[in-house]
Copies of this chain bind each other. A is one copy, B any other.
């Protein structure tokens, strides 16, 4: 592993150098998604060159042609964790044979359906990380802590995020 440079480690090191030498402003990364209601509860999300369907199961009024938005949030947590595991392991030269994650989240449907004054969103999220590696348990424990300190989606879930809305009706600004 030490002989040939790991391309992820190289990319991470190059990004770290870039961030260290650049003004703070350059570290601000903006991401974007465009979505549209297609038919019924079925929607389509477009992210750069990627498009996919997001829908609801029939029990919730949809046609079940894609995952639902809450499931997407859980998938975002699992994949973000794995990507940060891969990046930090590469940078620290820790061998990983596999990382698999199962994420579960619970919400109270009475919030969504306005049946009781409870929060509409996820109440708790549990994530079960399965790592396959020849590294020592103490090394993996340190890796786990590093990942959880630096995983963007985990941090996004744990903290309140400021949100700003603009609404247009038939092209006219409804916000004001």
Contact = CB atoms under 8 A, between A and B. Distances in A.
A16 to B, nearest CB: 5
Given A156-B121, A162-B123, A170-B132, A150 B80 contact: no
B168 A131 contact: yes
Interface of A is mostly: mixed
Q: How many copies does the complex hold?
A: 2
A37 B67 CA distance: 20
B80 A32 contact: no
Given A104-B31, A141-B174, A161-B125, A112 B50 contact: no
Given A37-B96, A124-B161, A164-B124, A47 B76 contact: no
Contact of A126 (B96, B157, B158, B166): B166
A48 interface: yes
Contact of A153 (B70, B100, B119): B70
A121 B71 contact: no
Interface magnitude class on chain A: 35 or more
Contact of A80 (B11, B69, B137): B69
Contact of A71 (B36, B47, B71, B119): B47
- Among A100, A112, A165, max chain B CB count under 10 A is at A112
Contacts of A154: 120-121, 163
